[in-house]
Structure 1
Amino acid sequence: MNKSYIMVATGRTCLHVFIFLLLALFFIAPKVNAQGAGATYSTGTVVTKSSAVISAKVVSYVKKIYGDVGDMVKKGQALVKLDDAEFTANIKFAKARLDDSIASLDMTKLTLGRIDKLFTKGSIAKSAVDKAKTDYARAKAAVSLAEAELEKAQVFLGYTTLRSPIDGAIDFKKIETGELTSPGQPLLKVVDTKHLRFAATVKESDINLIKRGMKVNVTIEALGDKKIEGSVAHIVPSGDRASHSYLVRIDLAPTDGLMAGMYGKIIWPR
């Protein structure tokens, strides 16, 4: 083989090796330095900072549902309307009972006044006064009871309109129009879509490196490995015995496109 050809080929090989070493120096070495001995990894998912499950408190039929999964809602917005005919009738009955109780109280008060005057004149026995006072006390108690029953009826009527306690989006819906509800039955769930957190699983050997308030960057794969600024909000003190790991929650800066459930990773500086 021609010696000059061998020398040229050898020179090209050396050049390729030199270029590879340069690439390794500028691209591979920094990653090894940042992700190797000087750092530790954690993975996790984006979660909502707050959510609210809206449950029924009374037995009634669903009359109307104002929204579906994915719809944005505001705090205080009506989401479910239950049939309120029975509860409206209960309020009318409670009001009528309260009116009767007040009328009876007024009557016993007048009676007590008349008997008290007669007793002062010596025209009636003390036992009659005692009875009038007892009747008056019972009438007052009846008014208080009727007021409480009316208040209770109004509260139960309020339970027929279920409202969102937070701003957010409907995450699930487990009820349809016409179905019968029962107390404690989950109907809807609303999640806060603006304030998100990253729930990271950290090895027990690394947990002491993490402090509350620490500033970190979370890389989200679904957003093209975009780095999002965050701050350590909570370090759950009880670790998982099986995996020997701890849960760390990180408050994330508002970011377009960021959604609960997205996978991510974080590098903790040593």
Structure 2
Amino acid sequence: MRATFPLILCALLVTCLAGCGRKNDAGGASAPGGAASAPQAQNVSVMQVGQADVPITVEASGTVTALQSVDLRAQTTSIVAQVLVKDGQNVKKGELLFRFDDRGDRAGLEKARAQLARDRASLSDLERQLNRAKELKGQNFIAQSAVDTAQANFDAGQALIRSDEAAVQATQVTLGFNELRAPISGRVGIVSVYAGSLVQANATALPLVNIAQLDPIAISFAVPESQLGALLSATRAGELDVEALPPPGSAPGAVAIKGRVTAVDNLVDTSTGTIKVKAEFDNKAQALWPGQYLRVRVTLRTLKGVTVVPQAAIIMRGTEHSVYVVGPDNTAKLVPVQLRFSLGEQAVVDGLDATARVVMDGKQNLRPGTPLRIQGPASGASRPASGTGK
């Protein structure tokens, strides 16, 4: 037992010495291992920063409305004698559209004129009586009261003449109601009466026809109240352009119709948080129709020569924004930027050099100083688009 103890102690000593030797070998090989742990190049795709003039726009849904629209109704109760207009016809202001049976009104006018002629004859006789009374009074043949009576009769006769003349004018006005003319130029709708129909002077009755002005024409739309300041500033600066976008189902190649903003409402709708805007468009081709629903785009202003990058290149950390750019030594460089406007897939930023190349795909694996292996241009459009300011 005593002989085996020294042998065990020697074996333990040999084992310790062997472990130390392996440790020293590992320590000697640590230098090559440290060199291998240096950052490896990352595969990325990049895109060149763009410089462009960017229009700042607002899009909204609008409804086409006629600048003028009139419902024509009869102002007299009569029978339709003639219908001189057809469905969908274009008419000019003052053009005769309907004639009503005017025989009764013409007879009334002749009666009023006859009454006027009779009372004018009576007035002439009263004037002669007044002059004779004045002569007799000058010769003291009659009293002053007789002259006063003759004067009163003559004044009453003059008043009666004025009443008869007013009656003639009133009858002429009533007679004029038997001809219905176009109060505005435009396109008529569907005619709802025919010759022989009875029409009545009733404000609640069905209109005979509607006339709508189609050229020029208007579009009413609403924009968010957050854009009110920019909208008012743009209108004060001059004429504000607006485009009516082709409606769904338009023919291929259809282009937007250009117009101008003519009015901004005087209050914000508190229930929707929007404000109404009205724009006017030339419509000689009658591409716009009252009641039509479409989208409009208002250009509030244009940013000249701004820096545009893809939205996908921007890294957001809270309220901070940054992008990775390709450094001079072909390594990743994190650059903070200020986001000015969002433009769909593009964004206008400040803080980037015009010659910078931003990293698109692969940025999630990058750290500042990471070597880059550029694979090619990033997918996605690099063309700046119109957008709404934040």
Q: With the length of structure 2 as denominator, give the TM-score of the two structures.
A: 0.57
Contact 1:172 1:189 in 2 (8 A): yes
Residue 163 of structure 1 and its aligned partner are, at CA, apart by 0.2
Aligned to 2:245: 219
**1:171 equivalenced with 2:189 (yes/no):** yes
Contact 1:72 1:169 in 2 (8 A): yes
Aligned to 1:100: 118
**1:62 equivalenced with 2:80 (yes/no):** yes
Moved over 6 A (4+): none
Distance 1:259 1:229, change over 3 A: closer
Return the alpha-carbon distance in structure 2 between the equivalents of residues 256 and 161 of structure 1.
31
SS of aligned partner of 1:61: strand
CA displacement 1:143-201 (0-9 Å, x = unmatched)? 00000000110111011100001111102433333232222343221111211111112
Q: 2:211 aligns with which of 164, 176, 190?
A: 190
**1:250 equivalenced with 2:250 (yes/no):** no
| Greater C-alpha radius of gyration | 2
Contact 1:228 1:255 in 2 (8 A): no
Residue 232 of structure 1 and its aligned partner are, at CA, apart by 0.5
Distance 1:255 1:80, change over 3 A: closer
Higher strand share: 2
Contact 2:215 2:283 in 1 (8 A): yes
Matches within 5 A, 1:87-166: 87-166=105-184
**1:229 equivalenced with 2:258 (yes/no):** yes
Return the alpha-carbon distance in structure 2 between the equivalents of residues 259 and 234 of structure 1.
19
Return the alpha-carbon distance in structure 2 between the equivalents of residues 107 and 168 of structure 1.
55
Return the alpha-carbon distance in structure 1 between the equivalents of residues 240 and 82 of structure 2.
47
Contact 2:215 2:286 in 1 (8 A): no
Letter in 2 for 1:265: R
- The count of corresponding residues between Structure 1 and Structure 2 is 242
Residue 45 of structure 1 and its aligned partner are, at CA, apart by 2.2
Aligned to 1:267: 297
Contact 1:166 1:192 in 2 (8 A): yes
Return the alpha-carbon distance in structure 1 between the equivalents of residues 119 and 251 of structure 2.
67
Q: With the length of structure 1 as denominator, give the TM-score of the two structures.
A: 0.81
Return the alpha-carbon distance in structure 2 between the equivalents of residues 218 and 247 of structure 1.
16
Letter in 2 for 1:160: N
Distance 1:93 1:131, change over 3 A: same
Return the alpha-carbon distance in structure 2 between the equivalents of residues 55 and 246 of structure 1.
34
Return the alpha-carbon distance in structure 1 between the equivalents of residues 68 and 296 of structure 2.
22
Return the alpha-carbon distance in structure 2 between the equivalents of residues 223 and 259 of structure 1.
14
Please report the RMSD computed on the Cα atoms of aligned residues, expressed in angstroms: 2.5
Distance 1:103 1:50, change over 3 A: same
Aligned to 1:14: none
CA displacement 1:8-38 (0-9 Å, x = unmatched)? xxxxxxxxxx9xx99xx99xxx9xx87xxx5
Aligned to 1:3: none
Residue 138 of structure 1 and its aligned partner are, at CA, apart by 0.6
CA displacement 1:80-104 (0-9 Å, x = unmatched)? 1111011100100000000001001
Contact 1:220 1:263 in 2 (8 A): no
Contact 1:223 1:258 in 2 (8 A): no
Return the alpha-carbon distance in structure 2 between the equivalents of residues 168 and 62 of structure 1.
23
Residue 223 of structure 1 and its aligned partner are, at CA, apart by 6.0
- Which blocks of at least 5 consecutive residues in structure 1 are unaligned? 1-17
Return the alpha-carbon distance in structure 1 between the equivalents of residues 107 and 256 of structure 2.
58
Return the alpha-carbon distance in structure 1 between the equivalents of residues 134 and 216 of structure 2.
69
Contact 2:214 2:283 in 1 (8 A): no
Q: 1:206 aligns with which of 213, 227, 232?
A: 227
